Amino acid sequence: MADHQKRFEGIVRNLKGHGYKITPQRLAIIGILAKSDGHPSVESIYDQIKGAFPTMSLATVYRNIVLIKSLGEVLELGFPDGSNRYDGNKPYPHPHVICIKCKKIVDPHLESLDQMKKEVSSETNFKILNHRLDFFGICGDCLEENNE
Ligand SMILES: [Zn+2]
Ligand SMILES: [Zn+2]
């Protein structure tokens, strides 16, 4: 899990470099963003740390995430139902697979992504700067549950 540790240290360094104080609450939030593969929501981050910081509010967690996002250290995935999820492991555009039942979000590794970008670019004459590529489906766990 060296990468997670590197991400954690990188986010802390960036905050410090911009003159932000590193409070224990902030460290806990950064820890979850950097170390979880599951693309947590603000609510799930709050649930994971409210035991350790009983006086902290959901709004504080949200404000910290907005700050970390403003430094480019977390990718926000917004959804039409208003539920945002966050990826602090890969703060750059990348494809996602989303389970419509349990809302699990996974990062697939797509060999064809670069090719796809080239195709879009040559077909539209756009210089591609960014992308958002979401696949929706039903994950293996949820499929199994259905079959029981
Ligand atoms: Zn599922
Ligand atoms: Zn992701």
Question: For residues 144 and 26, what is the distance between their CA atoms, to the nearest angstrom?
Answer: 38
What average pLDDT does the structure give for the chain?
93
| Residue 95 pLDDT | 95
Q: Residue for token digits 């994950």?
A: 139
Cα(8) to centroid(ligand 1), Å: 28
Cα(93) to centroid(ligand 1), Å: 23
Cα(147) to centroid(ligand 2), Å: 28
**pLDDT per position as a tens digit, 58-109:** 999 999 999 999 999 999 999 888 889 999 999 999 999 999 999 999 999 9
Residues with beta carbon < 5 A to ion ligand 1? 99, 101-102, 104, 139, 142
Phi, psi (deg, nearest 5) at residue 46: -60, -45
Cα(102) to centroid(ligand 1), Å: 4
Query: 8-42 burial by CB neighbour count: b if 16+ within 10 A, else e?
Result: beebbeebeeeeeeeeebbebbbbbbbebeebbbb
Residue 148 pLDDT class (50, 70, 90 cuts)? low
Q: Which helix (H) or strand (E) holds 141?
A: helix 140-147
Cα dihedral sign for 66, 72, 73, 77? Answer: positive
HSE value, Cβ hemisphere, 13 Å, CA-based, for 121: 11
| Residue 2 pLDDT | 61
Cα(96) to centroid(ligand 2), Å: 6
